[in-house]
Structure 1
Amino acid sequence: MRKTDTRQDNREVIAELKQKDSHFANIFDEHTQLDEKINQLEKDVVQHASRDEEIEHMKRRKLYLKDEIYKAIEKNKLQSLS
């Protein structure tokens, strides 16, 4: 049993929200950019070591954005049921 739905599970809802909600589109894009940057920095051992604090800050921001994204998805699902 999974705790949260994956991005794949919510693909249609995400696409809909990105089109109709500019705030959602912005936080989704920021989350994606942070994910890419974190992955890139973690692959570069030299940069990773010198930027640990920055990476941790990015990870906290990414987690916050993920929570906001899933709140919006759940809200949209509930509104769809009404």
Structure 2
Amino acid sequence: MLGESHDLLHEFPNLQEKIANLRDQDAEFARLMDDYDALDARVRDLEELGTPVADETIEELKKERLHLKDTLYAILRS
């Protein structure tokens, strides 16, 4: 769905406390989460505003977002 939020709290509501703790205590996790949030906002903006951009570009951004989410989820599960 266009413009749908993919922030970690929305994606993993059962891990909210752990996300908050790691964000406060782990600088690398916080950096990765900031990168993820910025990338998610960029994808949503491109989708919602209808900014002319190649389909391949959007797909690459989404793949990068998914990779970051996988990395963050692996940290959350460890």
Same fold at TM > 0.5? yes
Name the residue aligned to 1:67. Answer: 70
Aligned length: 69
1: distance between equivalents of 2:54 and 2:46?
Answer: 8
Structure 1 vs Structure 2: percent identity of aligned residues? 32
2: distance between equivalents of 1:55 and 1:42?
Answer: 8
Q: Please give the TM-score of this superposition, normalised by the length of structure 1.
A: 0.73
SS in 2 for 1:71: helix
Hey, which bits of structure 1, 4+ residues long, moved more than 4 A? none
- What RMSD over aligned residues (CA atoms) do the two structures have, in Å? 1.7
1: distance between equivalents of 2:55 and 2:49?
Answer: 12
- 2:67 is the alignment partner of 1:57: no
2: distance between equivalents of 1:36 and 1:69?
Answer: 17
Q: Please give the TM-score of this superposition, normalised by the length of structure 2.
A: 0.76
Name the residue aligned to 1:44. Answer: 49
2: distance between equivalents of 1:31 and 1:41?
Answer: 15
2: distance between equivalents of 1:67 and 1:45?
Answer: 27
